[in-house]
């Protein structure tokens, strides 16, 4: 009857293991059935270990899918593997400079005396390091003090000896059949690592290799985005006026040359508007140049925001602006110029010290596509029209007369 009770308990235990449920008690004894109970206990312990490994690996996969960083994943591995692998220290090192340098990317230990710290680099010429990293499968050394004597000149051997490490498990992170780095489990006890530790750590490093490559890809994307942003910033600085944000003189003239060529090919009209701030010298003299800069900026901002997509405005020099309108006829050009004039005149400019009423004068030159199109002539005509506007009382638009 006693034996029957134990068999029933064993049956319940096996069923519980199949369902992944915890087992409260497995009875044992010194007879044959009792020995079966001892074997079931060992099987249950192994079952729990495999389940714990599965949970950890599943956690790493989940973190990878959630795009968590490599540091977060490594910290989780460090905190979760204690019951599965013996270690006092764990570190990740990545190969850099075409595999000639091994750089410590991440390290944690249960003690303070860390000698091989994050960002430390070891050249691949180090003979002991060469042996440890020239592998494609997890490799255990269970007596480092004895092993390192074969490499008396190795700085790597000297450093880990100072940390009193006696056992090491080196696990390569493989990508396209080549190691990209290594996960090091280190223990201050001798003979710490067995075959099953190597099998488990191979699964961990396979997943970490994916995370590391993903992390590297994200870094490349971030660097590429940064380079694109820097390129755009340099282009902006090269083509735009620092004070007003408008196109600078070389850039607006380049646009002018291109629009002239486009107008010649298409046989349509192009308009040029010269713009000058009225009495700007008086503003500088009476209010100071910082106030003058505010006026320039405010006028440029208004002109920019009231312009259309096919209207290009640049700072031509000093308090002068140049607008290129293409394609445009005489009527459209005059309407655009009046729009520019009114948006400036309708509201005074507030500065730190005072409110300044401001106006602009504009000279318009238009080529209809029927006359000979000469870019120098068109600019000169717009400039002449601007001076006519100035002489006729300012705050007005004048159209150049084609001769």
Domain boundary among 32, 64, 96: 64
pLDDT at 339 over 60: yes
Spatial distance between the Cα atoms of 133 and 14, rounded to a whole number of angstroms: 43
CB atoms under 10 Å from CB of 161, counted, come to: 15
Residue 241 lies in a domain: no
Spatial distance between the Cα atoms of 36 and 31, rounded to a whole number of angstroms: 9
Spatial distance between the Cα atoms of 158 and 148, rounded to a whole number of angstroms: 8
Spatial distance between the Cα atoms of 367 and 370, rounded to a whole number of angstroms: 7
What's the pLDDT score for residue 70? Answer: 76
Task: Identify the band that residue 321 occupies on the pLDDT scale cut at 50, 70 and 90.
Answer: very high
Domain boundary among 34, 64, 94: 64
What's the pLDDT score for residue 67? Answer: 53
What's the pLDDT score for residue 58? Answer: 65
pLDDT at 335 over 90: yes
77 and 58, same structural domain? no
207 and 73, same structural domain? yes
Residue 240 lies in a domain: no
What's the pLDDT score for residue 3? Answer: 53
**Closest C-alpha to 312, from 322, 302, 297, 298:** 322
Most confident of 27-31, 89-93, 195-199, 393-397: 393-397
Q: Higher model confidence: residue 128 or residue 357?
A: 357
Question: How many residues does the structure list for the chain?
Answer: 403
Structure tokens given for 295: 């006026």
Spatial distance between the Cα atoms of 20 and 44, rounded to a whole number of angstroms: 10
Residue 230 lies in a domain: no
145, 178, 278 from 121: Cα distances, Å: 22, 20, 65
298 and 197, same structural domain? no
Average pLDDT, integer, range 44-62: 66
347 and 292, same structural domain? yes
Beta strand 121-123 with 167-175: parallel, antiparallel or unpaired? unpaired
Q: CATH number of the domain at 269, please.
A: 3.30.70.270
Quote the strand ranges of 53-126, DSSP E: 89-96, 101-109, 121-123
Supply φ then ψ for residue 38, to 5 degrees. -65, -40
CB 16 within 8 A of CB 40: no
Average pLDDT, integer, range 182-190: 90
98 and 45, same structural domain? no
Beta strand 320-325 with 311-317: parallel, antiparallel or unpaired? antiparallel
208 and 136, same structural domain? yes
The residues, ordered by sequence, that sit 6+ positions from 225 with a Cβ below 8 Å of its Cβ are none
Domain boundary among 173, 203, 221: 221
Q: 3-class DSSP state for residue 183? A: strand
Write the pLDDT tens digit of every residue in 93-107: 888 887 788 888 889
CB 138 within 8 A of CB 198: yes
**Closest C-alpha to 367, from 398, 342, 345, 400:** 400
Residue 194 lies in a domain: yes
Q: Higher model confidence: residue 269 or residue 60?
A: 269
74 and 54, same structural domain? no
Q: 3-class DSSP state for residue 178? A: strand
Quote the strand ranges of 288-369, DSSP E: 311-317, 320-325, 349-350, 355-356, 360-367
Spatial distance between the Cα atoms of 60 and 75, rounded to a whole number of angstroms: 11
Average pLDDT, integer, range 232-240: 85
Structure tokens given for 53: 């490994």
For the chain, give the mean pLDDT. Answer: 84
Residue 201 lies in a domain: yes
Q: CATH number of the domain at 73, please.
A: 3.30.450.40
Distance in angstroms between the alpha carbons of the first and the last residue of the chain: 126
Average pLDDT, integer, range 282-304: 92
Supply φ then ψ for residue 326, to 5 degrees. -155, 130
76 and 36, same structural domain? no
Task: Identify the band that residue 221 occupies on the pLDDT scale cut at 50, 70 and 90.
Answer: low
pLDDT at 1 over 50: no
190 and 106, same structural domain? yes
CA angle at residue 143 from 189 to 57, to 5 degrees?
65
Residue 239 lies in a domain: no
Residue 212 lies in a domain: yes
CA angle at residue 191 from 185 to 192, to 5 degrees?
40
82 and 40, same structural domain? no
| Global pTM value | 0.51
Spatial distance between the Cα atoms of 244 and 38, rounded to a whole number of angstroms: 85
270 and 196, same structural domain? no
Residue 233 lies in a domain: no
27 and 80, same structural domain? no
- Structural domain count, the chain: 3
Write the pLDDT tens digit of every residue in 387-400: 999 999 999 999 99
23, 47, 68, 298 from 219: Cα distances, Å: 47, 39, 13, 40
- Its domain, for residue 136, covers 69-221
């Amino acid at each position: 009857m006693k034996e029957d009770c134990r068999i029933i308990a064993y049956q319940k235990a096996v069923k519980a293991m199949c369902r992944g449920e915890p087992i409260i008690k497995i009875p044992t004894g010194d007879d044959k059935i009792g020995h079966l109970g001892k074997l079931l206990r060992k099987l249950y312990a192994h079952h729990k270990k495999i389940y714990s490994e599965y949970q950890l690996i599943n956690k790493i996969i989940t973190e990878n899918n959630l795009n968590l960083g490599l540091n977060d994943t490594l910290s989780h591995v460090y905190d979760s593997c204690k019951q599965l692998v013996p270690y006092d220290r764990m570190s990740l090192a990545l190969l850099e400079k075409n595999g000639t340098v091994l750089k410590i990317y991440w390290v944690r230990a249960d003690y303070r005396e860390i000698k091989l710290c994050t960002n430390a680099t070891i050249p691949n010429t180090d003979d002991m390091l060469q042996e440890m990293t020239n592998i494609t499968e997890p490799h255990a050394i269970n007596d480092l003090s004895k092993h390192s004597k074969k490499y008396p000149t190795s700085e790597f051997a000297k450093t880990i000896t100072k940390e009193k490490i006696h056992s090491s498990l080196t696990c390569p992170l493989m990508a396209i059949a080549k190691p990209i780095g290594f996960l090091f489990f280190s223990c201050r006890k001798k003979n710490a690592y067995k075959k099953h530790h190597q099998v488990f750590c191979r699964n961990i490093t396979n997943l970490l290799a994916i995370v590391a490559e993903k992390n590297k890809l994200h870094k490349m994307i971030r660097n590429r985005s940064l380079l694109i942003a820097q390129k755009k910033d340099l282009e902006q600085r090269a083509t735009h006026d620092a004070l007003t944000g408008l196109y600078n003189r070389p850039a607006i003239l380049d646009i002018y040359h291109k629009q002239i060529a486009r107008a010649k090919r298409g046989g349509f009209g192009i308009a040029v508007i010269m713009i000058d701030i009225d009495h700007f010298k008086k503003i500088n003299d009476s209010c100071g140049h910082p106030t003058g800069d505010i006026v320039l900026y405010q006028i440029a901002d208004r002109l920019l925001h009231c312009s259309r997509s096919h209207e290009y405005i640049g700072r031509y020099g000093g308090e002068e602006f140049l607008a290129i309108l293409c394609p445009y006829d005489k009527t459209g050009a005059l309407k655009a110029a009046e729009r520019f004039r009114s948006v400036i005149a309708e509201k005074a400019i507030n500065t730190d010290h005072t409110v300044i009423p401001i106006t602009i004068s504009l000279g318009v030159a238009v080529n209809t596509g029927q006359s000979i199109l000469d870019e120098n002539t068109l600019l000169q005509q717009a400039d002449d029209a601007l001076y006519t506007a100035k002489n006729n009382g300012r705050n007005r638009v004048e159209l150049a007369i084609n001769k």
